[in-house]
């Protein structure tokens, strides 16, 4: 069964997913610059390494009331049919491989015009105990409500606030919404935009610093350099980056069968939808202590004729950067470690060591050539 990777994020307590192939970058929300005459849900723009990028507030796009932003909010840069926009989300959680048969394209509510309820939802995915709504990027970016829909900024926040009442007249349900709440929402949409007016001075300084960092990175950018997409993983509380070009999928580890007469770096085999996958631990090659007592996640990589599952403690995120932005390898790393690294970058104020996985697997003694 074919699977597809989705970046999962939280918004208003709900889980949403967006195709990883459309994600270009993720970072914490910076200060936004207001834009005159922009649609109500486009709440500002950022200077992203020399390119002006519009930023969409998903709350307003979905029809909810506006909420103050906080330092833990993130921006996901997405690209759809040559349109690039950043969306504000509460929290980016992980990347999940979702099989096609786990996705329900539409829900039937028994109503004549059910499609109107799915403006921005491409489907509903079942992932263990969670239900994830998948974004329809074409509708999210291009859809404009007709005049009837645009007249009243009806909000799920209003609907759940106890401010909504109704009565039946003939065949129609007449809704009555608290005018005070509507006035507050309309007041926000009509006022000149000021980014986080109620934030503390120290919070405003952090937002501004983030915006400055994104802008200043453009001064060092080499327009001909290669973009690099990385999966950020955790090994023994240290951050590492793995090039997504060699990543086939992410998976949970279940029912590992030990392989006799193999080095300690070979954890065992696992059945992955009918394929026997060998799980390997790269920590000893990196001179790190190995702990295989709690195996949970693996990244399935494919390099030339080699397919293996790289055991990791946690898959944290997907990030995108310019190769020119890679920093040098710290001198503190031992010589045998340095040859398996491409460079370093910063993620959440921590250093990420970017792995040269091709060399590590091919020359680091991971591949078992001896016969058993």
CATH number of the domain that residue 310 is part of: 2.40.50.180
14 shares its domain with 82: yes
210 shares its domain with 79: yes
What's the residue count for the chain? 372
In this structure, is residue 311 part of a structural domain? yes
74 shares its domain with 212: yes
Tell me how far apart the alpha carbons of residues 220 and 225 are, in angstroms, rounded to a whole number. Answer: 11
Residue 1 confidence (pLDDT): 64
φ and ψ at residue 142, rounded to 5 degrees = -100, -20
In this structure, is residue 289 part of a structural domain? yes
In this structure, is residue 98 part of a structural domain? yes
In this structure, is residue 273 part of a structural domain? yes
Instruction: Report the share of the chain in percent with pLDDT over 70.
Output: 74
Report pLDDT digits (tens) over 296-336.
888 888 888 888 999 998 888 877 777 767 776 655 554 45
> C-alpha distances in angstroms, 364 versus 61, 156, 260, 303?
49, 54, 21, 14
209 shares its domain with 310: no
204 shares its domain with 59: yes
Diameter of the chain by CA atoms? 81
What are the structure tokens assigned to 40, written together? 């109500």
**Could you tell me how far CA 277 lies from the centroid of its own chain?**
26
In this structure, is residue 240 part of a structural domain? yes
Q: What is the domain extent for residue 172?
A: 152-190
174 shares its domain with 125: no
In this structure, is residue 369 part of a structural domain? no
Q: Is a pLDDT exceeding 90 seen at residue 135?
A: yes
In this structure, is residue 342 part of a structural domain? yes
Q: Which helix (H) or strand (E) holds 212?
A: helix 201-216
Tell me how far apart the alpha carbons of residues 239 and 233 are, in angstroms, rounded to a whole number. Answer: 6
186 shares its domain with 206: no
φ and ψ at residue 139, rounded to 5 degrees = -70, -40
Q: Is a pLDDT exceeding 50 seen at residue 154?
A: no
167 shares its domain with 240: no
45 shares its domain with 168: no
205 shares its domain with 71: yes
88 shares its domain with 214: yes
Residue 57 confidence (pLDDT): 93
135 shares its domain with 247: no
Structural domain tally of the chain?
Answer: 3
Tell me how far apart the alpha carbons of residues 143 and 24 are, in angstroms, rounded to a whole number. Answer: 21
Report pLDDT digits (tens) over 324-369.
677 766 555 544 566 788 888 887 778 888 888 888 887 766 654 4
Tell me how far apart the alpha carbons of residues 61 and 155 are, in angstroms, rounded to a whole number. Answer: 10
């Amino acid at each position: 069964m074919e699977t597809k990777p989705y970046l999962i994020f939280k918004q208003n307590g709900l889980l949403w997913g967006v195709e990883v192939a459309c994600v270009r970058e993720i970072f914490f929300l910076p200060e936004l610059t207001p834009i005159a005459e922009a649609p109500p849900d486009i709440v500002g723009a950022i200077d992203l390494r020399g390119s002006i990028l519009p930023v969409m507030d998903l709350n307003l796009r979905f029809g909810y009331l506006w909420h103050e932003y906080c330092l833990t909010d993130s921006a996901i840069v997405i690209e759809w049919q040559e349109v690039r926009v950043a969306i504000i989300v509460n929290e980016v959680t992980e990347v999940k491989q979702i099989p096609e048969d786990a996705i329900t394209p539409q829900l039937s509510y028994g109503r004549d015009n059910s499609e109107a309820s799915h403006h921005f939802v491409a489907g509903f995915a079942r992932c263990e105990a969670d239900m994830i709504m998948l974004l329809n990027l074409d509708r999210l970016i291009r859809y404009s409500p007709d005049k009837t829909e645009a007249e009243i900024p009806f909000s799920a926040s209003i609907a759940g606030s106890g401010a909504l009442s109704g009565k039946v007249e003939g065949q129609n349900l007449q809704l009555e919404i608290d005018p005070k709440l509507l006035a507050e929402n309309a007041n926000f949409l009509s006022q000149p935009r000021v980014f986080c007016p109620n934030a503390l001075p120290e919070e405003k300084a952090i937002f501004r610093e983030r915006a400055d960092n994104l802008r200043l990175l453009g001064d060092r950018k080499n327009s001909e350099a290669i973009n690099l997409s990385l999966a950020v993983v955790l090994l023994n509380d240290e951050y590492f980056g793995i090039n997504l070009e060699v990543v086939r999928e992410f998976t949970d580890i279940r029912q590992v069968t030990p392989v006799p007469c193999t080095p300690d770096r070979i954890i065992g085999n696992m059945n992955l939808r009918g394929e026997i996958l060998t799980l390997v631990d790269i920590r000893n090659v990196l001179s790190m202590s190995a702990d295989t007592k709690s195996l949970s996640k693996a990244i399935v990589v494919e390099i030339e004729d080699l397919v293996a599952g790289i055991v990791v403690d946690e898959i944290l995120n997907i990030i995108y950067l310019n190769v020119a932005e890679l920093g040098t390898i710290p001198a503190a790393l031992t010589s045998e470690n340095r040859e398996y690294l491409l460079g370093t970058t910063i993620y959440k104020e921590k250093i990420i060591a970017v792995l040269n996985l091709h060399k590590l697997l091919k020359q680091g003694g991971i591949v078992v050539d001896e016969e058993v």
